[in-house]
Amino acid sequence: MRDTNSEANGKMTSDNELIYKYNRELFYHFDKDKGFTQKVDYQNPNNQVIIKQGWDAAEQRLDEVRQLVIQGKASPIAYYMEKILMEVPMLAAYMEIPKWRVKRHLKSKVFKKIKPETLVKYASVFEITVEELKHPGFLK
């Protein structure tokens, strides 16, 4: 089997730039001769690709929801929920209301009937104003 250590840490850098350079972490390595070693370094490039894949997928989901909102098939709550990377169970936990209510609020028809105080709470969870929640910038 190939020696992945040197490959992952050395050769890969030539065709793969580091994307994330905010903080260096501690990693363990193993080599037959040197045994177990520790090294502080940035995530290696191929792992950074995997991290980026996660963020790209989130962005794509957000794009899709945005389209749905523009077409009137989903409420702005669906958009902002995706924007802060939440799903229904978590948003329901933050809102302190049952999941089925949050699910209903994702429909644009129901959205128009939501009580103002509930909207205020949604806005505070999303860290935006009620105005932004009612009329997201991309709709103008």
Partner 1 sequence: MVKLAFEHRQAGHCESGVTRNLLNYHHFKISEPMAFGIGAGLFFSYLPFLKMQHAPTTSFRVWPGQVFDRATRELGVKTAVHTFRNPKDSMDKLNEVLEQGYPVGLQVGTFHLPFFPPEYRMHYNMHNMIVYGHENGTYFISDTLMENLVEINYEDLMRVRFAKGAFAPQGRMYYPTHVPARIDIKPAIVKGIRKTANNMVGIPFPLIGVKGIRYLAGRMRKWEKKLGEAKASYYLGQVLRMEEEVGTAGAGFRFIYGAFLEEASTVLNQPWLRELSFEMGENANSWREFSYLGSRNCKKRGKPDQSYDFLADMLIEIANREEKIFKKLSTIK
Q: Does 33 bind partner 1 (CB under 8 A)?
A: no
Q: Does 94 bind partner 1 (CB under 8 A)?
A: yes
Query: How many residues in the shown chain lie near partner 1 by CB under 8 A?
Result: 45
Q: Does 62 bind partner 1 (CB under 8 A)?
A: no
Among 130, 135, 72, 136, residue whose Cα is nearest residue 106: 72
Q: Does 18 bind partner 1 (CB under 8 A)?
A: no
Q: Does 40 bind partner 1 (CB under 8 A)?
A: yes
Pick between residue 6 and residue 139 the one whose CB is nearest to partner 1: 6
DSSP result, 95-117: HTS-HHHHHHHTSHHHHTT--HH
3-class secondary-structure state, position 85 = coil
